[in-house]
């Protein structure tokens, strides 16, 4: 049985760069394969385990399952049960298994903001994102050499965050000792305002210094998501201008994503807009039919869902707006199939999609949702759409955003604009939050169901 494992590993070795082979593949040891198909692996530490799982395990298992004609289950044991503090330089492999190239280099932990599913190998390339993908790979392979900054722009749900994170993963793999900062622009702004306020309160210099050390000095690579969030925020823009200059001057790679071209960013100073164009600008566009099919098939494979070609084609032909919607549709269809104990078929997909579309009560507007929610919670319509942040209005507002999304065909940016010009990312996080609360908290679920019931009545 163990030979099977060795052969499966060997089958993928030709596709792995020699340095990566030594660093990431060889240190994983197969301890046993039980008769019931249970594979037990030993990894030097959690960090190796995660890399192995993300990058090699799926291909090895595929090979193994093809050879053995059966399914396997994998468990890891860790040689070193080290607790890795976030961003700390702490994990060194056990001495006897220490991979040669890293012998003297301390490995930085993978930044916790980088999600395992946003890697290059999980990104499907087609004509509409080919250039952005190539640019991202180029920057990841030789950071800060020519294309600085890289500016990735395009509509919602088209893979900007995915590419940005993939760059982080790849650079981290190539330069495990580098400090990689991934932040949303919103976090940059919040951090900045936070340190300004605590600076004022304590009238000491430390918090601003800390902020600047964190953003200007520490990172070898700065990845900032959704830079359009800087619009009309003058002091944050000013701070970002200096952050940008410091990093750029020190030859540190900067990558930005945005929903608009630099020239079209409203309320952003010219000096910053012009800096955004210094390097390379790459657009991600709505994927074409073939790419949508390819994405569905890849997602199905990753989720271990059997998706026949005709069903993939059917879904891709009907869900066109963006990749996030495509993913959502696939997950709903897969959930339905598994619930009914049936395979996914075109009929089942058609049914589920029809339900999705029919789910939106005809003619329901965002304004109607807002009125209903405002009346239910007894808040002013004006406040529901306004900027106030205290819970008494913020909570109803999130519910109204969630219901607008669920019951009308409006996109995230459209919903944001009807709530007093909020950013689409605000709407997305509101929707996710209410989804989570509905799953966890029966009280929230019941309120949401009641409101939904009212709104569905003709
Ligand atoms: P954006 O940041 O542009 O709004 P995201 O990067 O968050 O979009 O992408 C939305 C979802 O779609 C993510 O789950 C992402 O993995 C997926 N996705 C987008 N483009 C692709 C692609 N080309 N291949 C695979 N998945 C993709
Ligand atoms: Mg994004």
Q: Based on the fold, state whether residues 247 and 322 are members of the same structural domain.
A: no
- What is the 8-class DSSP label of residue 447? H
Residues 215 and 221: their CA atoms lie apart, in Å, by: 10
Cα distances (angstroms) measured from residue 334 to each of 131, 158, 342, 348, 374? 32, 22, 10, 10, 35
Q: In CATH, what number is assigned to the domain containing residue 430?
A: 1.10.1750.10
Closest residue CA from atom 1 of ligand 1 = 157
Is ligand 1 within 6 A of the CB of residue 168? no
Q: In CATH, what number is assigned to the domain containing residue 338?
A: 1.10.8.60
Residue 5 has pLDDT above 60, yes or no: yes
Q: Atom of ligand 1 at shortest distance to CA of 124?
A: 24
pLDDT of residue 286: 92
Is ligand 1 within 6 A of the CB of residue 164? no
Q: Based on the fold, state whether residues 173 and 141 are members of the same structural domain.
A: yes
Tokens, residue 286: 């709505």
Average pLDDT over the chain, rounded to an integer: 86
Phi and psi for 280 in degrees, rounded to 5?
Answer: -125, 135
Ligand 1 centroid, distance to 211 Cα (angstroms)? 30
More confident call, 48 vs 77: 77
Residue 159 inside a domain? The answer is: yes
Which pairing describes strands 29-33 and 38-43: parallel, antiparallel, or unpaired? antiparallel
Q: Atom of ligand 1 at shortest distance to CA of 226?
A: 2
pLDDT of residue 50: 73
Q: Atom of ligand 1 at shortest distance to CA of 284?
A: 3
Residues 125 and 129: their CA atoms lie apart, in Å, by: 6
Q: Based on the fold, state whether residues 377 and 333 are members of the same structural domain.
A: no
Is ligand 1 within 6 A of the CB of residue 411? no
Q: For residue range 6-65, list pLDDT tens digits in order.
A: 888 888 887 776 556 666 687 788 888 888 888 999 887 665 677 788 778 888 888 888
Residue 104 inside a domain? The answer is: no
Which of 50, 78, 106 is the last residue before a domain boundary?
Answer: 78
Ranges 11-15, 89-93, 201-205, 329-333: which has the least confidence: 89-93
Residue 74 inside a domain? The answer is: yes
Residues 113 and 184: their CA atoms lie apart, in Å, by: 10
Closest residue CA from atom 16 of ligand 1 = 162
Q: Based on the fold, state whether residues 132 and 187 are members of the same structural domain.
A: yes
Is ligand 1 within 6 A of the CB of residue 129? yes
Ligand 1 centroid, distance to 158 Cα (angstroms)? 5
Which residues are bridge partners to 73 per DSSP?
Answer: 38
Residues 266 and 188: their CA atoms lie apart, in Å, by: 19
Please give the residue range of the domain that contains residue 294: 289-352
Closest residue CA from atom 21 of ligand 1 = 159
Rounded to two decimals, the pTM is 0.63
Residues 249 and 244: their CA atoms lie apart, in Å, by: 8
Ligand 2 centroid, distance to 257 Cα (angstroms)? 8
Residue 67 inside a domain? The answer is: yes
Q: Based on the fold, state whether residues 263 and 128 are members of the same structural domain.
A: yes
Which of 13, 46, 78 is the last residue before a domain boundary?
Answer: 78
Going by pLDDT thresholds of 50, 70 and 90, the confidence category of residue 99 is: very low
Is ligand 1 within 6 A of the CB of residue 157? yes
Q: Longest Cα pair distance anywhere in the chain, in angstroms?
A: 71
């Amino acid at each position: 049985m163990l030979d099977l494992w060795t052969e499966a590993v060997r089958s993928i070795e030709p596709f792995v760069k020699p340095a990566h082979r030594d660093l990431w593949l060889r240190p994983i040891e197969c301890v046993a394969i039980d008769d019931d198909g249970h594979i037990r692996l030993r990894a030097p530490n959690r960090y190796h385990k995660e890399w192995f799982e993300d990058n090699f395990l799926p291909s090895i298992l595929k090979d193994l399952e093809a050879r053995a004609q059966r399914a396997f289950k994998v468990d890891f044991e860790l040689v070193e049960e080290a607790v890795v503090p976030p961003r700390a330089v702490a994990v060194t492999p056990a001495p006897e298994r220490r991979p040669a190239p890293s012998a003297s280099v301390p490995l930085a932990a993978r930044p916790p903001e980088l999600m395992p599913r946003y890697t290059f190998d999980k990104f499907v390339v087609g004509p509409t994102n080919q250039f952005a993908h190539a640019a991202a790979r180029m920057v990841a392979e030789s950071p800060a050499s020519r294309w600085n900054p890289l500016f990735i722009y395009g509509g919602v749900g088209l893979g900007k965050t995915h590419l940005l994170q993939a760059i982080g993963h790849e650079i981290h793999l190539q330069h495990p000792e580098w400090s990689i900062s991934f932040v949303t622009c919103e976090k940059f702004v919040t951090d900045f305002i936070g340190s300004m306020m605590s600076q004022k309160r304590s009238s000491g210099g430390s918090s601003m210094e800390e902020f600047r050390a964190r953003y200007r000095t520490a990172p070898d690579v700065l990845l900032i998501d959704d830079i359009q969030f800087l619009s009309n925020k003058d002091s944050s823009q000013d701070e970002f201008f200096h952050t940008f200059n410091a990093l750029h001057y020190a030859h540190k790679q900067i990558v930005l994503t945005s929903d608009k071209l630099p020239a079209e960013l409203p309320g952003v100073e010219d000096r910053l807009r012009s800096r955004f164009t210094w390097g390379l600008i790459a657009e991600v566009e709505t994927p074409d039919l073939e790419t949508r099919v390819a994405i569905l098939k890849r997602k199905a494979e990753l989720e271990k869902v059997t998706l026949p070609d005709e069903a993939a084609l059917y879904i891709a032909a009907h869900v066109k707006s963006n990749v996030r919607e495509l993913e959502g549709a696939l997950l709903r269809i897969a959930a339905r199939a598994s619930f009914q104990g049936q395979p996914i078929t075109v009929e089942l997909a058609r049914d589920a999609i029809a339900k999705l579309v029919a789910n939106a009560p005809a003619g329901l507007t965002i304004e109607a949702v807002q009125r209903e929610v405002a009346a239910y919670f007894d808040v002013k319509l004006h406040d529901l759409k306004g900027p106030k942040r205290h819970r008494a209005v913020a909570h109803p507002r999130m519910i109204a955003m969630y219901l607008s999304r669920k019951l009308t065909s409006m996109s995230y940016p459209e919903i944001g604009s009807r709530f007093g010009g909020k950013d689409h990312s605000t709407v997305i996080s509101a929707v996710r939050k209410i989804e989570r609360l509905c799953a966890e908290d029966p009280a929230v679920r019941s309120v949401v169901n009641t409101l939904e019931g009212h709104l569905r009545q003709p």
